[in-house]
Amino acid sequence: MNASGPARMLVCYVGHHHGRLLHCSPCLTLSNDCIFQDLIFYIPFGGKESIMNFRQNLMEAMGQNVHFVIDSWMEGDNLTASVIWHLEWKGKEIPHTTGCNFFECQQIDGKLIISKIIGVEELPVKPGDWVLKLLKATIVVFDKFPFPAERIVAYKVGGNT
């Protein structure tokens, strides 16, 4: 893998995170106040220690035979990058396990530091057209009852309203 800048860091992060590219681990640096917002969890993981604990639990749950495999990565503007990955068991792709991580970095003393990670994973259950029907029904209710709708959209899980 021939990445540089934030893209190299995220390849190192994902590789280290998932037991691959361990020779890159020195470039792995999370800020102490890093946020990991994995969209399958209601509340983000806040702080380096919390994220490291989650990563340890994830690696234990995956066992020895499951690995993350990097499909592609992309570097964006302002020290951002993303990686698309999937899971493999004994070298064989596990269906419905594609995911994407988005990284925001900052440069401190010439070192790239990960300050925010957003994770999006493929759902094993495919809701298909139901998502559009649910969206339409939600918007109809919001339009009919704007006061409660305003309160719902102002609410943040794990935060202040």
Give the model's pLDDT for residue 24.
45
Residues 22, 12: Cα–Cα separation, whole Å: 8
pLDDT of residue 136: 95
pLDDT at 96: 93
Specify the pLDDT at position 145. 93
pLDDT digits (tens, 9 = 90+) for 70-90: 888 888 888 888 888 899 999
Long-range residue pairs from 17-26, CB within 8 A, at least 24 positions apart, any chain: 17/55, 17/58, 17/59, 17/68, 18/59, 18/62, 18/67, 18/68, 18/85, 19/59, 19/67, 19/68, 20/67, 20/68, 20/69, 20/70
pLDDT band at 112 (very low <50, low <70, confident <90, very high): confident
Q: Specify the range with the lowest mean pLDDT, choosing from 3-17, 77-91, 111-125.
A: 3-17
> What average pLDDT does the segment 118-143 reach?
91
DSSP H helical ranges for the chain: 5-17, 48-62, 130-144, 146-154
Buried/exposed 96-120: b ≥16 CB within 10 Å, e otherwise? ebebbbbbbbeeeeeebbbbbbbbe
Pick the CATH number of 5-121 from 3.40.605.10, 3.10.450.50, 3.40.50.2000, 3.30.70.60: 3.10.450.50
Q: CATH 3.10.450.50: which residues of the chain? A: 5-121
pLDDT the model gives residue 97: 92
Model confidence band, residue 9 (pLDDT cutoffs 50, 70, 90): low
What pLDDT, on the 0 to 100 scale, is given for residue 11?
A: 60
CA triplet 26, 32, 34: central angle to 5 degrees? 95
Burial of 54 (0-12, 13-18, 19+ CB in 10 A): middle
Share of the chain above pLDDT 70, in %: 79
State pLDDT tens for residues 23-42.
444 455 889 999 999 999 99
